[in-house]
Structure 1
Amino acid sequence: MRLALFTDTFVPQMNGVALTLGRLTDYLNRRGIEHLVFSPKSTADMVYSDPIRPVTSIPFFLYPECRLALPNLAAIRTELDRFGPDLLHLATPFNLGLCGLHYARKHRISHVASYHTHFDRYLAYYHMKAAIPLYWSYMKWFHHSCDATFAPSRDTLDILQEQGIDRLLLWTRGVDCALYSPDKKSVDVRERYGITAPYLLLYVGRIAPEKDIDTLSAIMKLLPDSVKAQVHWLIVGDGPQLHELRESAPSNVTFAGYKSGEELAQIYASADLFVFPSSTETFGNVVQEAMASGLPVIAANSGGVREMVSSGENGMLCAPRQPQSFVQEIISLVEDSDRMAKFRFKAREFALGRSWHAIFDQLLHDYEMIIDFRRIGKKSGFYSA
């Protein structure tokens, strides 16, 4: 099998989509599967190794972690003609995805897309609701010729099906349980940030409107004084609302900035509760990282997060954009150490069953099935709600 991957976000960019695709290419290398990756060039001086084919790009105004490529169509076409792919995977619906789509349709090659982000919901947060119908019209046009569209959660599959997108397949996400582990707990984290409160509450993610940061800010302020005295918040991440959140935050909040790797793993394992108010997630990688670290999760009852957090078993789900709902659950857990210990064990137990290797094995099987279906002129519905 020869695979060509088109994406407008890729490592070293640090977001869930880029990291997932980076892991996918690592897996393909280990399996000896020939592939090319057409991705944006993040900086002019960055050097990329084979099989990455970097493309000049500019930041996407709505979501700077995702870049808009400025591709040389003739050069890409020549590269693909020489490579002879069996399947094209269009990971994003922007400029590079369009290049791949055009080539696949013209040459009648198997092609799939993956849906990672609810950009329609982002438009609402950025006061662009009027553009939502246009967005879905474009998405239906983009996906209609694809042999399959992959989505990371059943909730997202249902949404796509409701919008008239068919031939849907589940491509969920794994987690590195060796990196993210309760064993990474360290007193250095509390010492580094000067935290002395009994309970450390953690948020990890982009600090932006679509992550319901306004809800997070309200939660911090609404906790009763008796609980505020027992907890300290650690906010890990960066984004356009950082200054606003920092200015309005109570005194028991520390901002750590962006973290990754072992340092992030230590922070997860050293916290007591993970609070995640975002209601726009197609999956929620940080939730699974927290669970692998043995953290109970208090999250919005929305999107792909609901398929990881089982309310009352390994965490609690709260009404989206309702700060008081989160406040009640935080108080409940802070006052019940036995319940918190049970959630810790169950969260880790869940994460241990989410192997990246098994997930990529299934994806590879799906690729092969799709190529075979195209060869015999068959298309399947794959998924039904």
Structure 2
Amino acid sequence: MRLAIFTDTFAPEINGVARTLERWSDYLHARNIPCLVFAPDPAAAASPEASPFVERFVSLPFFLYPECRLALPNPLHVRRALHAFRPTMIHVATPFNMGLLGIRYARKHRIPLVASYHTHFDRYLAFYNIQWMVKMLWRYIDWFHADCRYVFVPSASTLRELKERGWDEKRLEVWTRGIDTKAYHPNADKARLLAKHGLERSKFIVFYAGRLAPEKNVNVALSAFAKFQRDVCPEATLVLAGDGPSMDSLKLQALREGVSAHFLGFTAMPELQQWYAASDVFLFPSPTETFGNVVLEAMACGTPVVCADTGGVTDTVRHEWNGLCCEQGNADAFCDALERLYRDESMRSRFIARGLAHSLRQSWDAIFDELLAKLQTTEIQPAARSSIRHTRG
């Protein structure tokens, strides 16, 4: 197999899709399976090293999700690179310019085509007051994936949602996410970390990691924590790791609500692992996840999770078994969950043990072994007629 991957986000960009695809390409190269990635140039702040395995193109940020870049590729350059590489399968990972080039080449040269579905972009639209685009977006997403022999999704809940939209279940496969337990683990020098940030007096650390953007509902986390701090634990501190368009408005909200919030900004490893492991609770109210890598990272670091009761996170977090799930957008429910974990040390201990046990079972190599076997079988199968169809617009 010779695999060409087309994606609008790739390392050194820091997001779940980019990191997953980087691991996937590294896995293939380690097994001497030729793989060539077509990706946009990253944001100016990130300067990737030149690689013979990655073709880069000038790009602009996508307004809904700046981590995905809108590439401005030279079709002649792409065609020459593909003719030289001679792919036997094409994998389109994002539904923008790079993905369109991959689809076009696969159709023209009758090369087996697969896709991976990573992001519920339709759920983002309401947070940016452009929900009128939902039907139009789904028509495009349906069309984009119509010729794919398989569409790999990160969670069973995402598979169910796409099946309900009329996508052929036989073409949908779960490609779950793994965790590097050597990088994410429960060991941390909590006293040193808190002292470094002037938080020595904090009695209870509530941690959020992720993009600071409307679709993540971080404002709900702030409101929930404000009530928790006011009514339950005045010595608690909310720590937020991440950056994004909502940073300034969230800081204003924290001031307005009198919240002890510590904004770290973008936080890389290994410091990110230290914050996970040093925190008492991981609070993640996002309702738009197809998987939610940060939830698995928190579990691997021994941190109990409170999350929204919707989307891919619910495939990882089982309510009252290894975490607590709350009604999306309900700050009071999230506050109550924080209080339960604060007051019930035995519950925290159970969640920590079960979360660690779950994370230890999520081996990247085992996950990629299964994906590779599926692709190798797909490569020799005759093409089937698409049965992805429109159902809601």
Provide the residue aligned with 2:197 in structure 1: 193
User: Residue 341 of structure 1: CA displacement?
Assistant: 1.2
1:174 aligns with 178
Pair 1:215-2:223 in alignment: no
1:238 aligned to which of 235, 243, 248: 243
User: For residue 279 of structure 2, what is the aligned residue in structure 1?
Assistant: 271
TM-score (norm 1): 0.95
Matched residues in 1 for 2:185 and 2:325: separation?
23
Once the two structures are TM-superposed, the CA of residue 370 in structure 1 deviates from its matched residue by: 1.0
Distance 1:83 1:285, change over 3 A: same
Distance 1:98 1:193, change over 3 A: same
Structure-2 residue corresponding to 1:30? 30
**118, 121, 124: which one aligns with 2:120:** 118
Deviation at 1:224, TM superposition (A): 5.3
Q: Deviations over 1:268-303 (max 9, x none)?
A: 111110000000000000000000001100000000
Distance 1:351 1:359, change over 3 A: same
Please list every run of 5 or more consecutive structure 2 residues that lacks an aligned counterpart in the other structure: 388-393
Residue range with higher mean Cα deviation, 56-65 or 129-138:
56-65
Distance 1:162 1:78 in 2: 40
Name the SS for the 2:94 alignment partner. coil
- State which of 210, 217, 220 in structure 2 corresponds to 1:205: 210
Could you tell me how far 1:53 is from its partner in structure 2? 0.5
Partner-residue secondary structure (3-state), 2:37: strand
SS in 2 for 1:183: coil
Which one is further off, 218-227 or 120-129? Answer: 218-227
Aligned with 1:373: secondary structure?
coil
Which residue of 82, 85, 99 maps to 2:84? Answer: 82
Amino acid in structure 2 at the alignment position of 1:223: F
| CA distance in structure 1 between the partners assigned to 2:43 and 2:268 by the alignment | 20
**What letter is aligned with 1:105?**
R
Count the aligned residue pairs.
Answer: 379
| Corresponding residue SS for 2:250 | helix
Residue identity opposite 2:308 in structure 1: A
Equivalent pair of 2:91/2:115 in contact (CA under 8 Å) = yes
Sequence identity, in percent? 44
Normalized against structure 2, the TM-score is what?
0.93
**How far, CA to CA, are the matches of 1:217 and 1:251 in structure 2?**
7
Q: Deviations over 1:331-359 (max 9, x none)?
A: 11101111111111111111110000101
Find 2:167's aligned residue among 161, 165, 168: 165
Change (3 A) 1:380 1:171: farther
Residue 324 of structure 1: which of 318, 332, 352 is its match?
A: 332
* Counterpart contact for 2:221–2:334, Cα < 8 Å: no
Determine which of 365, 368, 371 is the counterpart of 2:373. 365
How far the C-alpha of 1:225 sits from its partner, in A, is 2.4
Q: Runs of 5+ in structure 1 lacking a partner?
A: none
Contact 2:299–2:359 (8 Å) recurs in 1:
yes
Counterpart of 2:148 (choices 146, 149, 172) is 146
Structure 1 equivalent of residue 12 of structure 2: 12
SS of match in other structure, 1:38:
strand
Selected match of 2:103 from 101, 104, 128: 101
Find the counterpart in structure 2 of residue 253 from structure 1. Answer: 261
Q: Summarize deviations over 1:63-105 as a string: whole Å, max 9, x none.
A: 1111000011111112111211110000001000000000001
Mean alpha-carbon deviation: is it higher for 191-200 or for 298-307? 191-200
The question of whether the paired residues in 2 share the 8 Å contact of 1:234 and 1:256 is answered with yes
User: Which letter does structure 2 place at the counterpart of 1:331?
Assistant: E
- Greater shift after overlay, 171-180 or 186-195? 186-195
CA RMSD of aligned residues (A): 1.5
The question of whether the paired residues in 2 share the 8 Å contact of 1:201 and 1:273 is answered with yes
Report Cα offsets for 1:124-170 as digits up to 9, x if no partner.
Answer: 11111110000110011111111111100111111112222221111
* Contact 1:112/1:148, CA 8 A, preserved across alignment: yes
Q: Are the counterparts in 2 of residues 215 and 277 from structure 1 also a CA contact under 8 Å?
A: yes
- Counterparts of 2:229 and 2:66 in 1: how far apart (Å)? 37
The partner residue of 1:314 within 309, 322, 325 is: 322
C-alpha distance in 2 between matches for 1:183 and 1:217: 27
